[in-house]
Amino acid sequence: MMRKKTMLKRRRLMSETGKVETGKAGIGKVETGKVETGKVETGTPKRPGRRRATAKTKPDHLETTRAKILDAALPNVAFDGWTPRLLREAADATGVTVGELRLAFPGGVIDLIDCFLADGDRRMEAALESLDLASMKIRERITVAVRTRIEVDAPWREAVRRAVTFLALPVSGTRGPRTLYRTVDTIWRATGDSSTDFNFYTKRATLAGVFSSVTLYWFSDHSEGSERTWRFLDRRIEDVMRFERAKSAVKTIGGKLPDPLALFSRLRYRNG
């Protein structure tokens, strides 16, 4: 009997405990309400807002810093070259702190060179926007664009020459080809190129050769108004157009010839 009474007491305690636990679970609804209406919900949206504001304003500040340092450095490149000392002195002259300098140019001098060349690409784009490129033939567009790109850097010819020399060094890695690609890609896009097939790459590779050779010729050209350079540019563009005409003729002739792969395919299945 005592054992049965003990078991009954345990069952009662368990059922009562279950009711209490059930009641506590019900309190969870109140706690959920606190999460929905309390401080947690009110405070959460503020953090992303602050982060977005920082991310939005930071690049603008860095662009301004880069522009200031570049403007201060350019007049001295012809004498000092693209060196760490040039970068430090330009930062000191503009009141830029060491921390800001590292944020603006984390890669050092090579980032300053990249900034200089990218600025030239932007100035070329701005100059081309004022021209009626749509009325020109593609040959004329490319000629005008290449000439404009070189002319915007005419006041800093020695800085460009030293930049090209620096980017040709092994220490520069792939930065040289990347800046060259950016320039020719900007030229093609500014002149209305919308190709997405294999021509996208052949156009840029061909123009890279033209632009590089014309730029190197320009370094040693002391004729009035760089007239010899522009005649050299015309000849290089003519070479490209002649190549394109020859390529088109080969495609036309090739289209009239039998396809050897199709012929071999028919022979294969016939023998099979």
3-state secondary structure 92-106: HHHCCCHHHHHHHCC
Which pairs with CB-CB distance under 8 Å and at least 24 residues apart come from 94-99?
A: 94/68, 94/69, 96/65, 96/68, 96/69
Q: What share of the chain is helix, strand, coil (3-state, %, to 5)?
A: 85, 0, 15
What single letter denotes the amino acid at residue 59?
A: P
The answer to whether residues 89 and 177 belong to one domain is: no
**pLDDT tens digit at each of 272 positions of the chain:** 555 555 555 556 555 555 444 444 444 444 444 444 444 444 434 433 333 334 444 558 899 999 999 999 999 999 999 999 999 999 999 999 999 999 999 999 999 999 999 999 999 999 999 999 999 999 999 999 999 999 999 999 999 999 999 999 999 999 999 999 999 999 999 999 988 888 899 999 999 999 999 999 999 999 999 999 999 999 999 988 876 666 555 555 555 555 555 544 554 455 54
Residue 173 within a domain: yes
The answer to whether residues 123 and 170 belong to one domain is: yes
For the chain, what is the domain count?
2
| Domain range for 93 | 52-106
